[in-house]
Amino acid sequence: MSEPKIAEMSFEDALKELERVVQSLEGGQVPLDESIALYERGEALRAHCEGKLRDAELKVEKIVASASGDQASGTAPFDAG
Amino acid sequence: MSLIDDTPEGTNAPELTVSELSRGIKRTLETTYGRVRVRGELGRVTFHRNGHCYLDLKDENAVLAGVIWKSAIGGLDIRPQEGDEVIATGRITTFAGQSKYQLVIENLAYAGEGALLARLERLRKQLAAEGLFDPAAKRPLPYLPRVIGVVTSPTGAVIRDILHRLADRFPVHVLVWPVAVQGPQSAPQVAAAIRGFDALAPGGSVPRPEVLIVARGGGSVEDLWGFNDEAVVRAVHDCRIPVISAVGHETDTTLIDHAADRRAPTPSAAAEMAVPVRAELVAMLADRDARRKSALAQMLKQKGQRLRDVARALPRPSEIIEVRRQRLDLAAARLPRPAELTKARRQQLALVATRLPAALNRAVAVARIELTRRSGRLGVAHLAGRVERGRERLDGWATRLVPAARRKLASASDRLSAQTRLLGSLGYRQTLARGFAVVRGEDGDVVTDAASLSGGTRIAIEFRDGRASAVTEGSGAASRPRGKSGGSSGGRQGSLF
């Protein structure tokens, strides 16, 4: 069973992997030792996903364009008014 | 007919010069048509190097030359293209020098919505033929983008709707690139903003968005026209970041919608496409977590139950042992006692033991008789006889030894005398007695050939009673005789030759 590094996984991939873990566990076909390893991997995946969701925060900036208008030279606070 | 242009009867028109007439026409035309709106189809359109644009306006029966000065081109709402049905606004001017007139165009507009749509359709077909709208090239949107770029007006409901919807669903980092969404500056700004976002390097000071939203509220076909612009469409097509277009209302379709990876009916819908609902994800995650936990618990419960079931089916250890113990006891009871097993052997042993001393005595007696018999044949007289016979044979041989040795010695002495005599008769000294002599060279070797002696060679001559020295005659060659005065030994030696 190949196990990519969870820390590098996208939310979507981690969630899909968690789905697979849950289905394997629910299927009840895996040996007990392996189930415990799966369970722990599921825990790590859940924590990873939760981390991605927890960091969510709305931050709005506007682009300050260069004189030519086609390059972003920086950002400034944005107020939609 | 007269060659002189006589003024016809009844007219008094004055005679004009060409210049006068041309000036008059110019005045009349430019006054009368100082501001006109002309509808027609654009014929040949030429953008000249000098920056001016020359074109023809035509209908079924007439052609009107037109020019757009360089200074006016920037302010046009549309870019003239052959085939466009337009309404040109401007004034008529004349070229007196060439008897020509033209329309100096100050503004161009499509001649009604039909003309606009026809123009749009032509561009759509052209870009589609180039593959800019290929559905296979459309990229999937990221599931959970961390940074979203929005190209729209910084003011108004559109950006507010997008931000509100994002905040409701999944708050993220939003970068707004403010642009004009209407008017001649709209299309270039929108195209520049899309390209500008795409040019951002990952990890730069300005974060690179993972998805772009290009948005504008509803409006007339003309209002949305900038989003049909070829430059905008190409910018979207070239952009490596997935683009969601949300321009106008659901019923308005602009060319940017064809090029974008996703088309949203409204700006709010674009925000919904861009991010999932965080609360739903949290709920989904909680559900998976609960299922994970219950699945393991269920599994443990099942395995525990099965363990107990199997354990129950196991017989008790004492039961297994008791059966065997009973068999052991039975078998042990049938075993004969050890004493009984050895009794017969012991009796046999006792019997054999009683016979043992008598047998031993018999064996010793037999051995003793044999010993006696053999020692009887071992007497001193027998040995003495053998010694005596040996001595007699030795005496016989000794008496024959001395005479044999004497005979052998006498025979050898005779042979030695004979050989000595033979040697004396064969030696060269005997011949010296008979008058022969031996000549020896300076080196003492015997000389046997006259040719080996050169003149003046010192030689020695051996006679019976001793040796004499001599020198040969001549010098250098043996064949050349030397003078009589030559040798130091005198004429006695010389006479030999």
Using a 10 angstrom Cβ sphere, with 0-12 exposed, 13-18 middle and 19 or more buried, the burial of residue A37 is middle
Return all residues near A27 (Cβ < 8 A) that are at least 6 apart: none
| Sheet with B243-247: strands ordered across | A72-77, A59-65, B173-178, B147-152, B211-216, B243-247, B262-263
Give the number of other Cβ atoms within 10 Å of residue B447's Cβ: 19
Contact B192 A69 (CB under 8 A): yes
The answer to whether residue A25 sits within a structural domain is yes
Mutation choice for B interface testing from A9, A34, A48, A63 by most B CBs within 10 A: A63
Q: Do B177 and A50 touch (CB under 8 A)?
A: no
In a domain? residue B13:
no
Whole-angstrom distance, CA of residue B174 vs CA of residue B150: 7
Residues in chain B within 8 Å Cβ distance of A74:
205-206
Q: Looking at the 3D structure of chain A, how many domains does it have? A: 1
Q: Which residues of A touch B159 (CB under 8 A)?
A: 80
Range of the domain at A50: 6-65
Q: Is residue B242 part of a domain?
A: yes
Q: How far is residue A49's CA from residue A47's CA, in Å, rounded to a whole number?
A: 6
Residue B31 token pair: 């006054």
Minimum-distance CB partner of A62 among B173, B178, B292? B178
Strands B262-263, B53-58: pairing is: unpaired
> Mind telling me how many Å the CA of B59 is from chain A's nearest CA?
41
Domain membership flag for residue A17 = yes
Q: How far apart are CA A49 and CA B36, in angstroms?
A: 68
pLDDT in tens, chain B (497 residues): 556 666 566 567 888 899 999 999 999 999 999 899 999 999 899 999 998 999 999 998 999 999 999 988 888 878 888 888 899 999 999 988 888 999 999 988 888 777 778 888 888 999 999 999 998 889 999 998 989 999 999 998 999 999 999 999 999 999 999 999 988 889 999 999 999 999 999 888 899 999 999 999 988 877 888 899 999 999 999 999 999 999 988 777 889 999 999 999 999 999 999 999 988 888 988 999 899 889 888 888 888 898 898 888 888 888 888 888 889 999 988 887 877 878 888 888 888 888 888 888 888 899 988 888 877 666 666 677 778 888 888 887 878 887 777 888 888 888 887 887 777 666 777 777 778 888 888 888 888 888 777 788 888 888 888 888 888 887 654 444 444 444 444 444 444 44
Query: How remote is the C-alpha of B243 from its chain's centroid?
Result: 38
B306 inside domain: no
Nearest CB to A28 within list B192, B289, B299 = B299
User: Taking CB atoms and an 8 Å limit, are A18 and B288 in contact across chains?
Assistant: yes
- In a domain, residue B465? The reply is yes
How many CB contacts within 8 angstroms connect chain A with chain B? 129
Same structural domain, B151 and B272 = yes
Spell out which residues of chain A touch residue B288, defining contact as CB-CB under 8 Å.
15, 18-19, 22, 42, 46
Determine, yes or no, domain membership for A77. Answer: no
Domain boundary among B224, B242, B276: B276
Chain B residue nearest residue A68, CA to CA: B192
Residues B461 and B364 placed together within one structural domain of the fold: no
CB contacts of A75 in chain B (<8 Å) are 175, 206
Mutate to test the interface with B, among A22, A29, A50, A79 (most CBs of B within 10 A): A22
Cα(B224)–Cα(B216) distance, integer angstroms? 8
- pLDDT given for residue B148 in this prediction: 96
Q: Are residues B261 and B164 in the same domain?
A: yes
Is residue A55 scored above 90 in pLDDT?
Answer: no
Cross-chain CB nearest to B291 (options A10, A22, A80): A22
Contacts of A81 in chain B (CB under 8 A): 155, 160
**Is the domain of B29 the same as that of B42?**
yes
pLDDT of B491 reads: 40
Partner-chain residue, chosen from A26, A28, A52, that has the shortest CB–CB distance to B144: A52
| A79 falls within a domain | no
Within a domain: A73: no
Here the CATH number for the domain that contains residue B238 is 3.40.50.2300
| Structural domain ending residue among the three candidates B276, B301, B320 | B276
Say if residue B358 is in the same domain as residue B437: no
Distances (CA, A) of A48 to A40, A54, B121: 12, 10, 49
DSSP secondary structure string for all residues of chain A: -----GGG--HHHHHHHHHHHHHHHHHT-S-HHHHHHHHHHHHHHHHHHHHHHHT---EEEEEEE-TTSSSEEEEEE----
Task: Confirm whether B25 is domain-assigned.
Answer: yes
Residue of A nearest to B235 (CA): A70
| pTM as predicted | 0.56
Could you tell me the two tokens for B12?
């008094």
Among A22, A25, A78, whose Cβ lies nearest the Cβ of B299? A25
Could you tell me if B450 and B411 lie in one domain? no
Does A40 reside within a domain? yes
Q: Identify whether residues B236 and B247 lie together within a single domain.
A: yes
Residue A18 to residue A9: CA distance in whole angstroms: 12
Contact present, B197 and B210 (Cβ < 8 Å):
no
Check CB contact of B215 with chain A, cutoff 8 Å.
Answer: no
Separation of alpha carbons B38 and B232, rounded Å: 30
Supply φ then ψ for residue B118, to 5 degrees. Answer: -65, -40
Q: B247 and B350: one domain?
A: no
Residues of chain B with Cβ-Cβ distance to A35 below 8 Å are: 296, 299
Asked if residue B124 is part of any domain, the answer here is no
B370 token code pair? 């044999």
Residues B144 and B66 in one domain: no
Q: Which 3-state string (H, E, C) describes chain B?
A: CCCCCCCCCCCCCCCCCHHHHHHHHHHHHHHHCCCEEEEEEEEEEEECCCCCEEEEEECCCCEEEEEECHHHHCCCCCCCCCCCEEEEEEEEEEEHHHCEEEEEEEEEEECHHHHHHHHHHHHHHHHHHHCCCCHHHCCCCCCCCCEEEEEECCCCHHHHHHHHHHHHHCCCEEEEEECCCCCCCHHHHHHHHHHHHHHCCCCCCCCCCCEEEEEECCCCCCCCHHHHCHHHHHHHHHCCCCEEEEECCCCCCCHHHHHCCEECCCHHHHHHHHCCCHHHHHHHHHHHHHHHHHHHHHHHHHHHHHHHHHHHHCCCHHHHHHHHHHHHHHHHHHCCCHHHHHHHHHHHHHHHHHHHHHHHHHHHHHHHHHHHHHHHCCCHHHHHHHHHHHHHHHHHHHHHHHHHHHHHHHHHHHHHHHHHHHHHHHCCHHHHHCCCCEEECCCCCECCCHHHCCCCCEEEEEECCEEEEEECCCCCCCCCCCCCCCCCCCHHHHCCC
Type of residue at B482:
R
**Which residues span the domain enclosing B491?**
427-497
Assess whether B228 and B188 both reside in one domain.
yes
Instruction: Give the closest of B160, B206, B289 to A72, CB-based.
Output: B206
Nearest to B173 among A42, A43, A59 (CB): A59
pLDDT at A81: 56
Q: How far apart are CA B462 and CA B492, in angstroms?
A: 15
Task: Verify that B260 and B181 share a domain, yes or no.
Answer: yes
Flag whether A81 is in a domain: no
> How many structural domains compose chain B?
4
Q: Is residue A30 part of a domain?
A: yes
Judged by average pLDDT, the poorest of A12-16, A32-36, A45-49, B22-26 is: A32-36
Query: Which residue on chain A is closest to B194 by alpha carbon?
Result: A70
**Domain termination site, one of B64, B91, B110:** B110
Asked if residue B416 and residue B438 are part of one domain, the reply reads no
